[in-house]
Amino acid sequence: MSKAFDRVEWKYLEAIMDKMGFDHHWISLIMRCISTSSFSFSLNGEAVGHVTPHRGLRQDDPLSLYLFLICSEGLSRFLQAEEQFGMLKGLRLTRNAPSVSHLLFADDSLLFCQSNEQSAMSIKRSLDTYHRASGQVLNNDKFVMSFSPNTSQAAQDFFAQTLHMPITQCHERYLGLPSYSGRDKQELFSSIKDKVRKLLHAWNEKKKKSIGGKEVLFKAVVQSIPTYAMSCFKLTKKFCDQLESMMSNFWWGSNQNGTKIHWKRWKALCKSKYEGGMGFRSFIHFNQALLAKQAWRIFDMPDTLLSRLLKHRYFSNCSFLEANIGHSPSLTWQSICWGKELLLKGLRFKIGDGIHVDSGKDPWIPSHNNFKPIDIDRILSIPLAYFAGPDRNKVVHGGQPRQPTAIVQYATRFYEDFNKLKSQRNGYNLNVDAATTLEQKKLGIGAILRDQHGTVVAALSKAVQGSFKSDEMEAKALFHAVNWVSQSQFPLTHIETDASRVSNALNRLNSDLSCFSDLIMDIRCLLSFFPQVLVTHVKRTANQAAHGLAKYALGLDEDSVWVGEIPYSVF
């Protein structure tokens, strides 16, 4: 569009915001912001006249870009209406892929259609209607058309006469990136290399810069030049090496005899300053990291236009993570698949409802495949008896189990005590702590439940295999303790822990972003059974009983539960 911001009609902007459902009070505030401008003319140093405009958006106002996007929505709706009525047919990558009739980015636009008279008239009708409504005018210096090789000359001439636009072989660039890619990838991005070379040459002709000045120029200017291209396409290793070679020569300097000695490889300078480098970016690794972000967006937002187009073209019968490069891939898809390789190395997922889990393929158990899918379903259908489990394990491992009558009596007493505690109305206080030993790679969990008088109601010692960080260890202990209280249905009202970061994370209203955020989310789900519960932090000296139970758990092979008292041997 020509003079896009200056030609926006205020009445059109107000009308389209109203049609899009914006609140009238909000619309009036926006219109006050853009309609308060006025102009005067400077004549012999004096302001003469007063002109009140009825169109135009301020160029430097950050709000103007968003308002112009709202205006561009009108052109999008005109083209969509033509497509719905069958007058315009957009481009389809495959038979079932969504139709694409236009791509808009601010005042830069790409339109796609079939090369027939109906499509030409439809585009002209949409552009003319948009011009009359919004005041926008096409930029004839930049508006061109290109056709596929099999388009007849008569169709090309009709489009040129109808739309009054010149014809070109291809659009070389859109938003600064190449629209078409051939075999020579070096030539494709040569403009980036030329821009970096000219920039370094201009700096080199000026007075010598210090090491600190060169560092700022590299990080703030040079390394940002290819960033947009690297987020869309994979640059060749040779191309990245050439960029880094130019930067390295400028970094170490030159004289009449050529470049000076490079006392360190560029790879060493790309290390962090903590590791002895300068913190520069390695272009090849930064390129893959940016493309990994694009791969994540496709995986995380499958409803976007790009995700749907790529799915119908390359992985219509599988998920994005299972997709391969396929036959005759585009440069874009090759680049995204290269970024996906890095994404898969660090990608982890947790089991939710299990709908999308393939137990035969997905590595959801971090070990070798121990079970067949049919065996997993049979194992999950086996009922487990809580009180018979420890004695069953003793039989398997050659131990001496208890008599069946003793197991029944113990289970009966536990059930009676449980019903007795359940009938009490007042809530209970839960103290939780964790202990570990580096040699055993074992986590001990201790929990003690008291009533409002401080009398012990129940206690738990539980051992968990694994090596955990400090805060993760405390969060895991709290999860198992609350889960135990929840299953036993004790009326819990208060939780005390000596881990301040865990208690702060649970009391924080916003989402937790720590390394143990999943555990915090699971604990919050369990605490939903206790609406009135309060989580507080206490000193370690006030949590000695739970700490003793946790240390005692390190010597156990199975859970130990006490009801009404704690043996002195625990301490």
314 and 459 assigned to the same domain? no
Residue 222 burial (CB count, 10 A): 21
**Domains: count for the chain:** 4
If asked whether residues 159 and 40 sit together in one domain, one would say yes
Q: Are residues 35 and 119 in the same domain?
A: yes
Last residue of a domain, one of 346, 375, 393: 346
Has residue 264 got a pLDDT over 60? Answer: yes
- Residue 492 DSSP label: E
Q: Does the residue 67 lie in any domain?
A: yes
469, 553: one domain? yes
Q: Under DSSP, is residue 207 helix (H, G, I), strand (E, B) or coil?
A: coil
Query: pLDDT tens across 44-80, in order?
Result: 888 887 777 888 888 778 888 888 888 888 888 888 8
Contact 89, 117 (CB under 8 A): no
Same domain, 131 and 196: no
- Chosen domain end from 147, 163, 179: 163
Inside any domain, residue 300: yes
Whether the CB-CB separation of 131 and 123 falls below 8 Å is answered with no
Do residues 244 and 299 both lie within one domain?
no
Asked whether residue 336 falls in the same domain as residue 451, the answer is: no
pLDDT attached to residue 289: 94
Cα–Cα nearest to 191, from 205, 173, 206, 218: 173
Specify the pLDDT at position 174: 67
Length of the chain: 571
Clarify whether residues 88 and 203 are in a common domain.
no
Residue 15 and residue 63 in one domain: yes
Q: Is residue 377 part of a domain?
A: no
CATH number at residue 445: 3.30.420.10
Residue type, 68: F
Nearest to 324 by CA among 459, 333, 332: 333
> Sign of the CA dihedral 360, 365, 371, 374?
negative
pLDDT category at 105 given cuts 50, 70, 90 is: confident
pLDDT tens-digit series, residues 186-242: 677 788 888 888 888 887 776 667 778 888 888 888 888 888 888 888 988 888 888
Band the pLDDT of 424: cuts 50, 70, 90: very low
Residues 20 and 159 in one domain: yes
Positions of E strands within 230-348:
254-255, 258-259
HSE toward the beta carbon, residue 51, CA cutoff 13 A: 9
Beta bridge partner(s), residue 379: none
Q: What angle do CA 202, 205, 206 make, to 5 degrees?
A: 95
> Would you say residue 466 lies in a domain?
yes
Name the phi and psi angles at 45, rounded to 5. Answer: 85, 0
Summarised one tens digit per residue, pLDDT across range 304-325 is: 999 999 999 999 888 898 889 8
End of a domain among 226, 248, 281?
281
Instruction: Please tell me the distance from the alpha carbon of residue 232 to that of residue 335, in angstroms, as a whole number.
Output: 7
**Phi, psi (degrees; rounded to nearest 5) at 202:** -65, -40
Has residue 134 got a pLDDT over 80?
Answer: yes
- With tokens 């995380």, the residue in question is 300
Distances (CA, A) of 493 to 482, 485, 540: 11, 11, 21
Q: Is residue 72 part of a domain?
A: yes
389 belongs to a structural domain: no
pLDDT tens for each residue of 499-517: 888 888 888 877 766 777 8
Confidence (pLDDT) at 370:
64
Query: What is the model's pLDDT at position 459?
Result: 92
How does the average pLDDT of the chain come out, rounded? 83
Determine the average pLDDT of the residues in 127-156: 84
pTM of the model: 0.59
Residue 360 lies in a domain: no
Domain hosting 74: range is 10-163
274 and 330 assigned to the same domain: no
Q: Which of 12-26, 303-317, 344-358, 472-486 has the lowest mean pLDDT?
A: 344-358
Long-range contact pairs involving 404-412 (C-beta distance under 8 Å, separation at least 24)? 411/387
Nearest to 292 by CA among 231, 350, 239, 235: 231
Regarding whether 555 and 457 lie in a shared domain, the answer is yes
Q: Is the pLDDT of residue 293 over 90?
A: yes
In a domain, 178, yes or no: no
